[in-house]
């Protein structure tokens, strides 16, 4: 019996489900929004809310506590720190490390960019917007996005016009 078991199973085994939710959380942290099914969005929302709360708690914490909270978040997101950046003749390792940190290091993005935005907010960091049905299997789609962060617009390239159409 599943009494008092509150996680969403999503038709997957535990390890697969946890890896999928960690990947979804990383995508939301990097891009501020993702499009997925409603059930996956509801499951990922719980993970993301807890991670942002860890980031908020680290703002006023001591250095040791802040490092501990960052390590907890990295373990939940399955992100290992990269410490070895080999430079090239044109780029130094420090430049590569900073570029990686600003673009791909989700723990850095979470704690240094997202958490300060939500410092005064007590919860409800994400929103789920229902979209409708997916064409192939009629699954209910939704957008999972962060509430207060500006979202960069998605630029779609127009298809080139056919020449010589009669």
In tens, the pLDDT along 21-61 reads 999 999 999 999 999 999 999 999 999 999 999 999 999 88
Average pLDDT, the chain: 88
Pull the structure tokens for residue 14.
Answer: 């535990």
- Contact predicate 29/49, CB 8 Å: no
Domains within the chain, CATH numbers bracketed? 14-82+89-146 (3.90.1030.10)
Length of the chain, in residues: 166
Question: Phi and psi (nearest 5°) for 48?
Answer: -65, -40
Secondary structure class of 146 (helix, strand, coil): strand
pTM score, two decimals? 0.82
pLDDT at residue 112 in the model: 93
Q: How many C-beta atoms lie closer than 10 Å to residue 40's C-beta?
A: 20
Using alpha carbons only, how large is the chain's radius of gyration in Å? 19
In tens, the pLDDT along 83-103 reads 777 778 788 888 888 888 888
Pull the structure tokens for residue 24.
Answer: 């979804």
Task: Say which DSSP state 110 is in.
Answer: I
């Amino acid at each position: 019996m599943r009494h008092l078991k509150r996680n969403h199973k999503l038709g997957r085994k535990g390890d697969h489900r946890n890896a999928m939710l960690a990947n979804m959380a990383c995508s939301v942290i990097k891009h501020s929004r993702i499009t997925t099914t409603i059930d996956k969005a509801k499951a990922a929302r719980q993970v993301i809310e807890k991670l942002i709360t860890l980031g908020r708690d680290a703002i006023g914490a001591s250095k040791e506590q802040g490092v501990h909270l960052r390590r907890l978040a990295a373990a939940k997101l399955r992100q290992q720190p990269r410490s070895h950046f080999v430079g090239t003749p044109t780029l130094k390792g420090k430049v590569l490390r900073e570029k990686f940190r600003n673009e791909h290091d989700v723990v850095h993005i979470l704690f240094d960019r997202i958490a300060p935005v939500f410092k005064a907010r007590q919860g409800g960091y994400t929103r789920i917007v229902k979209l409708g049905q997916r064409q192939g299997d009629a699954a209910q789609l939704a957008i999972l996005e962060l509430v207060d962060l500006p979202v960069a617009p998605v630029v779609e390239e127009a298809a080139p016009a056919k020449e010589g159409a009669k």
